[in-house]
Every structure is written in structure tokens, then in C-alpha cells.
Chains A and B, each alone.
Chain A
Amino acid sequence: MANFYKTLNQTNDIVNTRTLLHEAIPLTGTIVSGTYGVENIKNYSHGMFQSVYDYPYLSSSANHIFDITAGYANNSGLSASANNQNSKKINIYNQMAQVMMGYDQTGSILQFDEDGDLLAGGTKQKENIFLNFSRLLVKDEIKKGSFELEIGVTPEYAQNGTVFGDRIKLADLSGSDGYLVNSPVGEYGILYATQSAGTNVMAAIGSGHSTPVGLLFYQAGVAVITGSIFLEVASGGILNNAHNNVSMSGPSSTEETVLAVLTGSQISGAADNIRTRIYNLQFNNTVELNSTVYFCRANHNEFNYSSNPTYLSGSKIRVKTQTTDVPVSYITTIGLYSDNNELMAVSKLSEPLKKTPDNEFTIRVRLDY
């Protein structure tokens, strides 16, 4: 009896697999801070955050890569009603904290904790810069242990690329084996700062010193960085006192500290200052690929004839001249069907496979979800 469907054995021919795929996401600082001027930087009338694109955002080719915003807790020393956008900065902090850190037993929003040990209390990060990465880049999550953000901390203010002589690198150094799981948005790691260029940039110990400066939420794709990375120790920061605070463009001059910017400038102004200090940013993303593999087995005595109209001349098979010639067919397509003969999936070979009674094939068709 002729037939053209072959039933798949549900045990031996169908296999489910799960694979994690990683892509490297390198973002050179110039894209963020200057290649396109400010044409790839989008500010909004509400002033709550700033968006960064990889190309002038009015172009249809532009991809959204991340947002920058900043905020402080309402019990921060910076909080004051006279501040520029004071309530918006508090709102941003609270919004990010309630999503990333959640609530305590009383329903109060938990603040960002420097070491993630919420029960022990400890130092809270009350003045933060937030980098919210686009799902286009993060996919399912940032690969643990792969995040590196290099920031120029040369004390002088400039926007001509000369602020990168002294640099610190923020990385989730313990991410691969020391991440935390007490966040409502999944796993997160601690970002540590190390000196990556210049001399005596960081406080006391200098090169090689690691200091916790933020949190990286892997699945949420959010980096929470303390504003103190731009301050010397004497001002509550991590930089060497001899190195001085990093100068920023504030409400009244270009020699103001990050504290003055966070209080006196708008969020977009703070974002501009931070963005132009980004030297390099890279991480690997992760895609969780759930696959079903169908092993389509064409045995020697199967699929040797074709219903292709060109296969026949009248009713005579073109590829045979006498009955004893072996039949020949060529496989280009595999169709996967339901019980009801509905074509659910189709796959194509890049070149025809010759099928005769002398050979057999097992074609492995993988569908990813």
C-alpha cells in the first residue's frame, strides 16, 4: 500500500531539550556619549528618565538599548523640597525599590541594600543611578559574572572624550557563584568597583581594591549604581581623597559634585553627566531555548517515489527506464503534521538529498520555543 505520512514514535522519535544561549553585547562608550551627538538620546517631557539608542532615534533603524535615570530615598540626606524634581527623584527611587527589592512585613518599601543581606540591615544605597537595559539586549537575563561597566572618573569635567584617563570598572565579580535570590524580580549580584586605569584612583588600597557599589538584577536587566562612585572618601565616596571628586555639569557650574547634580539638576541633566562618563559597557545575555527535536527516519524502503508532477511522463517514472532500475527521489522539505493532517511546521534542507532503496536518512528537525 502506498502512503506518504510516517508516524513519529512519541518515545523514540521526539525529544524535548533545554539550551541556554549567550550573546556578547559590547557597547562602546562613544555610542552612548558622542558618536551621534545627542541624536540618539531621547528625553521626555515628563523628565523621569532618558533613553539611549544605538542610532539617531528618529531613524527606523534605531534600537533602544537602555534607559538612564536617577533618584534618592525620601530619608536620604539629599532629599529636600527645594531640590529640582525632588518628588520625581523620590518617586523613581521608590518605584525601582518596590519592584526590585519588594516590601517588608509592614508593607513598607525595602531600600536597596549594599550587600543584599536584608535581615542584617547594613548600609543602604539611598542615592542611585539606574541603568535599565532593553529586553532586546538582555533577552531572558544577563549572564551572571559577565557584566562590566567602565566609567571615566578623571576629576575634570569635559565632554570631549578626555575624562577617561582615570577609570573604574564595575563588575559582578561574584556573579557566577555568589548571587542573591531574595528579590521579587529574580536573582541579583553585587557590583564591585576596581580601578582599571590611572594611578591611586580608588581610596587607600589603590589598584585591585574591590568595593561594593551597586546591584545588578539579572532577569530584570537593571543595574543600580550608587552615586558615590563619583565621590572621594571624604565626601562619602570610594575615590582617593587625593584624587578629588569628579566634576560634573551642575545647575550653576561645570565643577559640581554628583551630589549637587542629583539635587540641583533635573534627572535628564544627571543622566547626561553619567552617560558621558561611560567608557565601555559589556555583558552577555542569555536566551533560554526550549526545543523539541523530531527524528524523521526515512528507511531504505521508504520515500523512494514522488508525487511531483515532473516525476512522471504520462504515468511512466522518468528516473527509471526499466522496472529493475532503482527508484530515485530527492528530499528538499520535511513537513510535520498533526493527527488531522494539519501542516504544523515545515523545514527545508539547504540542498537536495538523494533517496534510493540503497540508503537511509535520519533527519533531525528542531523546533525552538
Chain B
Amino acid sequence: MAFLDNSGDIILDAVLTDHGRKVLSKGDGSFRITKFALGDEEINYTLYNANHANGSAYYDLEILQTPVLESFTNNASSMKTKLITIANTNLLYLPVLKLNQNMTNTKTHTLGAFLVAVDRSTEGTDAAGTTAAVGYNGTDQVQGILFGESFEDSNYIRIDQGLDTTEISPKEKSQISDMIESSYIIQIDNRLGSIVDKNGNRVAPDFIDDDNIGFYTVDSSDNIVSDNLDDSNSTSQTISGPRGTIVEFKIAASLDLNTSTFLFTKLGNTALMTNKAGTPASQSVRFIDTMVRVTGMSTGYNIDVPIRFIKTII
């Protein structure tokens, strides 16, 4: 998209998103706009210079000169960062979402992403017990590999919410009390996988958009969101200050990835991994890299978790 002309009056460039057009085309009255949100995705707040020598009028001069791109029609590409309404104007800290990798079974793989084994022969849970599997190293589960078919692993993705500062004690829960997230939206490419809880129970998506992105709203009733009651300085915690909630989930591989190599051929590539016998770079796998986005329903803060779907080539 090009930049908008910012030489004169402020103009507004409005478009229907591709998903909006899809809903409108149904003609069943489901196209109904009921609310709005404001975004600031072009803004780089690190340009805010509160120490500018010329005074406060110059603090945000560079920010105000930021050129703004035309609207994207892809619904998943817009409104990634939103403005938040909080009645208290005296806040100095806001909660963040942070991937918790402080426990063995919540760490990413050494490749830097969570790997999802899409079938049992990749997991190493098939009856044949083939050595081509990459989910095990000998009898030990490999760190950061989620079993996308059987869920017979202890690994999962954990995201913590809270004020990540050492300047406020984790025991000062009141500092975050009106900013605790009770529900989250998780987005994942529906062609590749879906969201399940730590026990492998599937969660129903709210909707699948025109680009095949599945949107899941999850809360405590899905066994995915829970309060973080630990207010100690435990090494298992990744949030240094007051804590809100924890999001814990796994990813189920889609039937397409489980039973076919079509999408791997179309969207992915191949690589070598360590096999079950522990021999490095000995097993060829097909892979597809993607992202899972988790967004707090209250603050709008989001985090992208890198995911790689893998399937052994036997």
C-alpha cells in the first residue's frame, strides 16, 4: 500500500475488509457493524523524546510526522495494535503478554519456535516405533515439540500476563486488578492447525475468515485461561511484577497436514533434524512455518508465537 497524502487536510481512507465483503455478500443481514476500535500500528513510540532540548512541543514531533499507509483490505493485517481505554490516567505501567519459557515443558525448540509433529510417526508414538520419529530422543521427549495428533506429550505453550517490572512487587496485585485479562483471542491458520487445551480437548472457533484464519475466544471455561496465583519470585515465573492470568494451550495438526503432504509441498520446505536414535541431522522432515497470535480481550496487547509444523519423510 502507498502512503496517504498528508500535505493538506486530514483525510480518511476507508475500505471494507475482504472478510467484510464476504459477510456482506451473504446478504443474510449478518453484516452489522456494532463497535469500533482505534489503532496506532504505524507509530513507533521509541521516537517520543521526553528529553528534547527544545521543550515539550518537540517531544512527539517525529511521531506526528509519521506517514500513514493506505488501508489494508486483509482483515488479519489491520488493527494489530489498539488504543486502550483505562479510566485511571495515573498509570505508569501496563501489563504485557510474555512467553513463559522458564519450565522445561514450556520452552521452545532449540530452533527458536514450537514444533508441532503432525502425525504419530513424526511424534514417535506409532505402534511401529520407527526411529525416523523426531518427537523423542531415545526415550526422552524433545523440548519444544508438541504432539499434534496424539497429544501424548507434556509440552505446551504458556503465555503469562502481568506487569513485567522489578519496580513493583508481585504481591501488589492491586496495581493490575483492573487490567487483568479474563479472556483472549487466539488466531491460527485453520488449514494447518487448531487450538486444544493441555489435555488435547478441542476448542470451537468463533469464525474462520476468508483467509482461513481461525479466531478462538478462550477463557477459564475452556481450561486454557487461569489466574496466576503465584506471587513469589519463583524461577518458573517470567513476569517480574504483579501477575494476571496464564494462557496454556497446545496445537492440533489439521487433517490435511496429518494425512497429506500437499500443503507441505505448497507452503513449506524440507530440513534435517535429529532422529529418535539421537543422530543429528539424520532425519529429513517437511515443515511449514507460521505464527499463532494471542491477544488480550481487555487490553488488546498481543504476542506472536512462532510455530513450525513438521512431518517426517519416510
A354 interfacial by beta-carbon distance below 8 Å:
yes
The total of interchain contacts (Cβ-Cβ below 8 angstroms) comes to: 285
**Restricting to B70-93, which residues have a CB under 8 Å from any CB of A?**
70-73, 75, 78-79, 81-87, 89-93
Q: Is A348 touching B71 in the complex (CB atoms < 8 A)?
A: yes
Having A317-B94, A331-B40, one finds 7 other A-B pairs with CB under 8 Å, namely: A314-B165, A316-B93, A330-B40, A338-B30, A341-B206, A342-B215, A346-B71
A211 interfacial by beta-carbon distance below 8 Å:
no
Q: Which of A5, A311, A322 contacts B92 (CB 8 A)?
A: A322
Cα A367 to Cα B92 in complex, Å, equals 38
B127 interfacial by beta-carbon distance below 8 Å:
no
**Restricting to B202-245, which residues have a CB under 8 Å from any CB of A?**
206-207, 209, 215, 217, 241
Q: Is A365 touching B12 in the complex (CB atoms < 8 A)?
A: yes
B174 interfacial by beta-carbon distance below 8 Å:
no
A66 interfacial by beta-carbon distance below 8 Å:
no
Q: B residues within 8 A CB of A321?
A: 50
Q: Is B34 touching A352 in the complex (CB atoms < 8 A)?
A: no
| Chain B residue nearest in CB terms to A1 | B178
Q: How far is the CB of B4 from the nearest CB of chain A, in Å?
A: 4
Chain B residues packing against A (C-beta within 8 Å): 4-6, 10-17, 19-20, 23, 30-46, 48, 50, 60, 63-64, 66-73, 75, 78-79, 81-87, 89-96, 162-165, 167, 178-179, 185, 206-207, 209, 215, 217, 241, 296, 298-302
Q: A residues within 8 A CB of B299?
A: 2, 4, 307
**Restricting to A124-181, which residues have a CB under 8 Å from any CB of B?**
none
Q: How far is the CB of B227 from the nearest CB of chain A, in Å?
A: 16
A252 interfacial by beta-carbon distance below 8 Å:
no
Q: How far is the CB of B288 from the nearest CB of chain A, in Å?
A: 25
Q: A residues within 8 A CB of B64?
A: 330, 351-352, 354
Which stretch, A38-46, A190-198, A253-261, A296-304, touches the partner chain B? Answer: A296-304
Asked, given contacts A332-B41, A347-B13, whether A326 binds B93 with beta carbons under 8 Å apart, the answer is no
Q: Which of A326, A328, A329, A337 contacts B36 (CB 8 A)?
A: A337
Q: Is B164 touching A342 in the complex (CB atoms < 8 A)?
A: no
Q: Which among A314, A319, A330, A357 has the highest number of chain B CB atoms within 10 Å?
A: A330
Q: A residues within 8 A CB of B48?
A: 318-319, 328
Q: Which of B14, B35, B40, B71 contacts A352 (CB 8 A)?
A: B40
Q: How far is the CB of A12 from the nearest CB of chain B, in Å?
A: 14
A320 interfacial by beta-carbon distance below 8 Å:
yes
Q: Is A310 touching B45 in the complex (CB atoms < 8 A)?
A: yes
| Chain B residue nearest in CB terms to A10 | B34
Q: A residues within 8 A CB of B94?
A: 305, 311-312, 315, 317
Cα A120 to Cα B294 in complex, Å, equals 74
Cα A347 to Cα B1 in complex, Å, equals 13
Q: B residues within 8 A CB of A1?
A: 178-179, 298
Q: Is A301 touching B85 in the complex (CB atoms < 8 A)?
A: yes
Q: B residues within 8 A CB of A351?
A: 4, 6, 10, 64, 66-68
Q: Which among B64, B92, B179 has the highest number of chain A CB atoms within 10 Å?
A: B92
From DSSP, what is the main secondary structure of chain A's interface residues?
A: strand
A345 interfacial by beta-carbon distance below 8 Å:
yes
Cα A320 to Cα B56 in complex, Å, equals 12
Q: A residues within 8 A CB of B206?
A: 340-341
Q: B residues within 8 A CB of A333?
A: 38-41, 71, 78-79
Please list 21 pairs of residues, one from A and one from B, whose beta carbons are closer than 8 Å in the complex, sorted by A's number.
A1-B178, A1-B179, A296-B36, A301-B85, A305-B83, A305-B91, A308-B45, A311-B81, A315-B94, A318-B46, A329-B83, A332-B39, A332-B42, A332-B68, A334-B14, A341-B215, A341-B217, A344-B31, A346-B79, A349-B10, A351-B66
Q: Is A3 touching B78 in the complex (CB atoms < 8 A)?
A: no
A336 interfacial by beta-carbon distance below 8 Å:
yes
Q: Which among B70, B84, B162 has the highest number of chain A CB atoms within 10 Å?
A: B84
| Chain A residue nearest in CB terms to B19 | A342
Cα A10 to Cα B60 in complex, Å, equals 36
Q: Is B40 touching A308 in the complex (CB atoms < 8 A)?
A: yes
Q: Is A315 touching B84 in the complex (CB atoms < 8 A)?
A: no
Q: Is B12 touching A8 in the complex (CB atoms < 8 A)?
A: no
Q: B residues within 8 A CB of A355?
A: 38, 83
Q: B residues within 8 A CB of A3?
A: 84-85, 298
Q: B residues within 8 A CB of A346?
A: 14-15, 17, 71-73, 75, 78-79
Q: B residues within 8 A CB of A347?
A: 12-15, 71
Cα A207 to Cα B238 in complex, Å, equals 91
Q: Is A340 touching B45 in the complex (CB atoms < 8 A)?
A: no
Q: Is B44 touching A310 in the complex (CB atoms < 8 A)?
A: yes
